Amino acid sequence: MKKAVCIISGGMDSALTAFIAKKAGYEIIALHFNYAQRTERKELECFEKISAALGAKKVVFDTHFFKDIGASSLTDTSLCVRTGGVEEGVPNTYVPYRNGIFISIAASLAEKEGAEALYLGVIEEDSSGYPDCTEAFIKKIEAAVNEGTKKQTSIQIRTPLVHLTKEDIVKEALKLGVPLELTWSCYTNEDKACGVCDSCRLRLRGFEGAKIKDKIPYM
Amino acid sequence: MKKAVCIISGGMDSALTAFIAKKAGYEIIALHFNYAQRTERKELECFEKISAALGAKKVVFDTHFFKDIGASSLTDTSLCVRTGGVEEGVPNTYVPYRNGIFISIAASLAEKEGAEALYLGVIEEDSSGYPDCTEAFIKKIEAAVNEGTKKQTSIQIRTPLVHLTKEDIVKEALKLGVPLELTWSCYTNEDKACGVCDSCRLRLRGFEGAKIKDKIPYM
């Protein structure tokens, strides 16, 4: 059976992405990064449940060096996560080149496992303005990955959500039976979502657009 | 003062590369990866001494997930490091996409620090046949890094040794006053170098070609 490495954060986007990979017939290797972000405990719990729902092989990598790099309100708790509303530009939740690092580590695992695809749930258009979530970036890192691995290794990087909106994502997730109630998006809280950070706002906007009730608890 | 992140393993190539960066006028941020390889204790010791000689700011990141990935005789001690001589093809010391991961993490640090250059000591021609040590790979990952970071971030990836031989490297190191006696190359031993792994053979070939005595202890 052909294999795919799916990066799963615990959020909606990566959960849907992994369900799309599963539907495409892949054996799923679910990969989660613990990068000492604010809500890691909750995200790991969601990753475990989503992976179980997928019947996936689970891999968790410790990447605490992100905390040493810092420079993001997700990994440096002396910085505040903004709650005033989604704005243009790169927000301070941006973790420098995070997806470049995630993809590179996932590519290493994919090469070792003989996986032919690497799925991740980046979205470009209806997102927070991160430079490492664009299709242009994915194309370039895919070229680098295939140049820098063995000749017989060929890894396709698939981002099926890249041009979807959050509303599309909620609707598509419902169609595929993705258990959205097991996912977590809030940047700051682990028990009741704050509802006002960018990530909560984008999630809620998605549910509202899809005319669906979000079943996770909010403050 | 303009800054450069220099990846320093503890070996000759990265030490010379960092001295070249220093000579080019950069303030050096010396970055070492502990990836649980066989000779990490010795490599870290060499990194410390080389960084001190450079007057560099030191950063060490724990990347033990490489051991979980395995698939290399450097990180999986159940595999043997070959000692019969350098051959064509990718040897089992290859750590899947290692330099892709190193460069991605270094790029994140460079973006945070506002460094404009990232130096690493890959050599393509007189080396062990690793796919992540070629100029073609470096060009592609440089494009990915600059696409996936902020618009105002611009990071040049510099590999001044990429087309040198080990003999050139020994000669150039002597010219620049690089303390080669503080560097370590052996893949297997930490006290006396084995002299027969690929890395020792390439090092010794370099000293022999340059007609210089290597001062580190051998078995």
Give the per-residue SS3 of A35-64: CCCCCHHHHHHHHHHHHHHHCCEEEEEECC
How far is Cα B204 from Cα B209, in angstroms, rounded to an integer?
A: 8
State how far the Cα of A207 lies from the Cα of B169, in Å rounded to an integer.
60
> What average pLDDT score do residues B137-142 get?
98
Strands A156-158 and B3-7: unpaired
- Determine the angle formed by the axes of helices A12-23 and A40-54, rounding to 10 degrees: 20
CB contact A111 to B (< 8 Å): yes
Q: Is the pLDDT of residue B83 over 80?
A: yes
Task: Say whether pLDDT at A147 is over 80.
Answer: yes
> Would you kindly state where each structural domain of chain A is located, as residue ranges?
3-165
Q: How many CB pairs under 8 A join A and B?
A: 137
What is the distance of C-alpha A186 from the center of its chain?
13
pLDDT, tens digit, 9 for 90 and up, residues B31-62: 999 999 999 999 999 999 999 999 999 999 99
Q: What is the pLDDT of residue A198?
A: 93
Given a cut of 80, is residue B128 above it in pLDDT? no
Q: How far apart are the CA of B192 and the nearest CA of chain A, in angstroms?
A: 31
Among the partner residues A62, A66, A141, nearest to B148 by beta-carbon distance: A141
Q: How many CB atoms lie within 10 A of CB A68?
A: 14
Cα distance between residue B211 and residue B178, in whole Å: 17
For the packed helices A166-176 and A198-209, what is the interaxial angle rounded to 10 degrees? Answer: 60
Angle between helices A98-113 and B98-113 (to 10 degrees): 170
Structure tokens at A20: 């799309």
Q: Which of B:151-190 have CB within 8 Å of A?
A: 151
State whether A69 and B147 contact (CB < 8 Å). Answer: no
Contact assessment for residue B91 and residue B83, using Cβ atoms and an 8 Å cutoff: no
**pLDDT of B98 higher than 90:** yes
Homologous superfamily (CATH) for A3-165: HUPs (3.40.50.620)
Q: What is the pLDDT of residue A89?
A: 87
Residue percentage of chain A with pLDDT more than 70? 99
Nearest CA among B53, B60, B50 for reference residue B15: B50
- What confidence score (pLDDT) does residue A137 get? 97
Mean pLDDT of chain A: 96
CA distance A22 to chain B (A): 23
Rounded to 10°, the helix B12-23/B166-176 angle is: 50
DSSP class of B31: E
Among B95, B131, B149, whose Cβ lies nearest the Cβ of A96? B149
In angstroms, how far is the first alpha carbon of chain A from the final one?
Answer: 44
Q: Of A83, A131, A35, give the one whose Cα is nearest residue B145.
A: A131
CATH 3.40.50.620 fits B3-210, yes or no: yes
pLDDT band at B125 (very low <50, low <70, confident <90, very high): confident
Question: In the prediction, which pLDDT does A87 show?
Answer: 86
H/E run at residue B89: none
Distance CA A184, CA A180 (A): 8
Please give the pLDDT value at position A96. Answer: 95
- Mean pLDDT of chain B, nearest integer: 96
CB neighbour burial string for B68-81, b if at least 16 within 10 angstroms, e if fewer = ebbbbbbbbeeeeb
Query: Cβ contacts of residue A52 below 8 Å, gap of 6+?
Result: none
N-to-C CA span, chain B? 44
Contact at 8 Å (CB) between B114 and B149?
no
pLDDT at position B101 over 90: yes
- Asked if A36 has any chain B CB less than 8 Å from its own CB, the reply is no
Q: How many Cβ atoms from other residues are within 10 Å of residue A174's Cβ?
A: 13
Using CB atoms, which residue from B70, B96, B149 is nearest to A149? B96
Tokens of B11: 């070996």
Q: Is A118 on the interface with B (CB under 8 A)?
A: no
Taking 3-state DSSP, the helix, strand and coil percentages for chain B, each rounded to the nearest 5, stand at 40, 10, 45
pLDDT value at B217 more than 90: yes
Q: Which of A7, A103, A108 to mutate to test the interface with B (most CBs of B within 10 A)?
A: A108
Q: pLDDT-based confidence at B129, cuts 50/70/90?
A: confident
- Cα–Cα distance between B2 and A208 in angstroms, integer? 48
Q: Which residues of A touch B90 (CB under 8 A)?
A: 150
Average pLDDT of B120-138? 89
pLDDT in tens, A21-63: 999 999 999 999 999 999 999 999 999 999 999 999 999 999 9
Query: Which positions in chain A touch B105 (Cβ < 8 Å)?
Result: 65, 101
Q: Is the pLDDT of residue A125 over 80?
A: no
